[in-house]
Structure 1
């Protein structure tokens, strides 16, 4: 059984999703808010509206890290290569997150550039048999470098999720990897 997803949410969830996939995305978002929301909405020095937008971006990163693994989202982008490139190009979430929370931008720009570069390479290899392994290497190297660049725990988690979301969850054709 699958649910028809409203057109407005096709870019996030695809055209159809299983109840389990929708529950998984929601559970990850609720867990992220529960575990990290209080750390994002903590500063008296940063305007509340900026903190709220940063939290929304954080939740979007979490949602994408799970939704991009699902059959519905994978199928939506598998047949829309231009949408895939657009998705990669528009992902400035991590830099915006850091800017909103007044975190030092340089490390986040480096992490963003590494992630987008990895996603471009992986997207060029879309549906190739070894794409998943290469994505794993890109994610692992990125994760190993993160503690050398980011000391803030919230920024570290956001960065790790961003790398996973864009380079592994999104840039890999998971259905081809399973069936091919």
Structure 2
């Protein structure tokens, strides 16, 4: 795959280098996924709250895919402090719930579980068990989401939020590869 240099202001989103394929897949998923959520939710983009919520939903969906990319993963693998900050600032699900008048109690449960689980997974960086623990916590998280009384659209967004932060981002998916050989690829 051919990689190209990402503009510096997008490093935190896409890393330093990215492939056209990965960027295209990220954008496509964000657009199609947002369209599906918009259709299922049947809300209208007729006020500032719903517009901001829709942008945040699109960001959650885009990040869910982008964080699996080699470029984004590699960028944060070399910046552990940035990874912790990224996990800590993910209040998207709280903001979406508030903006679209969803029960905040459910949003806090989802957010708390996701952030604590992502922190545990992140603390296991470099250990072979990291991905297994992440998958385990993700599966328990899905049970948690299904046990809450959530509207279908909020369940969808919550699931992708959890995948984005807990599994897609907190795991170093390429730790088993030789970092020197990765540098040659990107």
Specify if TM > 0.5.
yes
CA distance in 2, matches of 1:72, 1:17: 5
Do structure 1's residue 170 and structure 2's residue 163 form an aligned pair? no
Three-state SS of the structure 2 residue aligned to 1:116 is helix
The CA deviation at 1:149 is 1.1
Task: Tell me the equivalent position of 2:95.
Answer: 96
d(CA) in 2 for partners of 1:147 and 1:159? 10
Tell me the residue number matched to 2:111: 112
Distance 1:139 1:179 in 2: 27
Asked whether the 8 Å contact 2:34–2:61 carries over to 1, the reply is no
Q: CA deviation at 1:83?
A: 0.2
Corresponding residue number in structure 2 for 1:160: 159
Aligned equivalents of 2:50, 2:155: Cα separation in 1 = 17
Q: Which residue of 1 aligns with 2:30?
A: 29
Q: What is the DSSP-based 3-state SS (H/G/I as helix, E as strand, rest coil) of the residue aligned with 1:3? A: strand
In the alignment, the residues of structure 1 paired with residue 133 and residue 176 of structure 2 have an alpha-carbon distance, to the nearest angstrom, of 12
Q: For 1:62-101, what aligned pairs fall within 5 Å after superposition?
A: 62-101=61-100
Which residue number corresponds to residue 121 of structure 1? 120
Distance 1:6 1:150 in 2: 42
Unaligned runs of 5+ in 2: 180-186
User: CA RMSD of the aligned region, Å?
Assistant: 1.7
**Structure 1 regions of 5+ residues with no counterpart?**
none
- 3-state DSSP of counterpart to 1:175: coil
Q: Is the 8 A contact 2:41 2:152 kept in 1?
A: no
1:121-170 alpha-carbon deviations (Å, 9 max, x no partner): 11111121110011001111101121211321111001100110011000
Q: Distance in 1 between matches of 2:149 and 2:48?
A: 24
Q: Structure 1: how far apart are the matches of 2:47 and 2:42?
A: 7
